[in-house]
Amino acid sequence: MNMEKVRKIGTFHILVLIFIFFNTKGFSEITTNEVYLLSSIYEGKDFTNITPYPINSNDEFEVYPGFFYKSFDPLWLIGGIFETNWSDLERGVYLSDSLPYVTGFMGGYDAGSMRIVSGMYFFDPYLTEEELERQKDTSFGTNFDTNSDRAGLEDFGYSDPSKTLFIHRLEFNLFDRVRLSLNELNLIGGKYPDLSDANPFGIAHNNLGEGFSNNMLGVDVSFIPTKGWQIYGQFAMDDFVVPDTEGGATYYKPTAFAWGLGTRLVGKTSKYYISPKIEYYKIYTWMYNQWAPYLKYTAKYNEEDIPIGFDYGNDMEGYLIGLDIANETTRYKIIFEHYLKGEINLDTPYDDERKEDVEGWPGPYGETTPFIKISFSIEVGF
């Protein structure tokens, strides 16, 4: 069993035991993993890749291990502690199940062919002394940023112990075979969030320099040409520098994209859905990185920073071959991965002199290292 799943199961083993002991009806209204999506692909219909997500709607208040669910058909709300995933990809590029769990709320409006989904997740605000010092730094001196909304505010706080992610999705399901979604992520740090931060159109805002938020755009697409066959992909844009129009931008916000493409087949035996898949990834050199710890696209668990998007961080390119075998109570996963890893990682300081090398932004940058991983995992009673 790979360490990634060990971490997840270690975090949730108490909740899983409670689920097995107390829950006798199963998750009849909520899908908490990709099994329902696999069954939909097998039948030739597309379903959202967001989990957890209500399958059926009723007006009852339901309590599950770690979280609650309430439907106000066609509206719904989930709150508590739960695992979440917003991707068809094994390693989603803007919000995946790389995180052991999230604490917060998610809800939406479901009109069948159109869905609106929002999430608000709270992360551990703990910073080391070094991280806190950088978080408070107003960048006076060599790193001074004239675009900062803190410019001229020396010793300005900017360090309220808060790190919150808002995510909004507008999803369309066309002809039961094509799913397209537009996503906006808004990471708020150094201040407590307010109503303006929850604005679903923040991606269009001019959040420049060292502010209190870091926006990301995500696009998600899925196509089912025929029963049992899916083609899918994701694209994330953290920032895009337009040459000759963003003077000085190369010194602080380089172009940062991430994308993945994949395809899978879904078959069925008497007990399991069986799904082989292959996926390809490209993660730009400075993706997910940031100078302010609270605005870096990572979340802290047991003092370890974990990327909110692609599991292994930035500056990588490669492929994944996997096999999923699953039913409602048991899931087996076998994965082979091969990537080229560049010199830059999420611990590389954002003022590193190599960032001025514009040609290196797509990555992998510099001398690359092969990254190979073979993993096998079993989950029971999820």
Give the per-residue pLDDT at 68.
94
Domains of the chain: 30-380 (2.40.160)
Rg (CA), the chain: 21
Measure CA of the first residue to CA of the last residue in the chain; give whole Å: 16
* Structure token pair of residue 10: 């270690």
**Considering the chain, what is the average pLDDT of its residues?**
84
Q: Which has the higher per-residue pLDDT, 205 or 180?
A: 180
Rounded distance, CA 190 to CA 295, Å?
A: 8
pTM assigned to the model: 0.86
Contact 105, 77 (CB under 8 A): yes
Instruction: Sort strands 298-301 and 267-268 into parallel, antiparallel or unpaired.
Output: unpaired
Tell me the percentage of the chain whose pLDDT exceeds 70: 82
Strand partners of residue 173: 179
How far apart CA 247 and CA 241 sit, in angstroms, is: 9
The size of the chain, in residues, is 382
* Mean pLDDT of the 311-325 span: 97
Dist. CA 311–CA 94, nearest whole Å: 10
Q: Which residue from 290, 328, 266, 316 is spatially nearest to 91, judged by alpha carbons?
A: 316
Q: Letter for the amino acid at 172?
A: F
Which backbone phi and psi does 15 adopt, to 5 degrees? -65, -40
What pLDDT is stored for residue 162 in this prediction? 94
Task: Say whether 83 sits in a helix, a strand or coil.
Answer: coil
Reported as a pLDDT band with limits 50, 70 and 90, residue 18 is very low
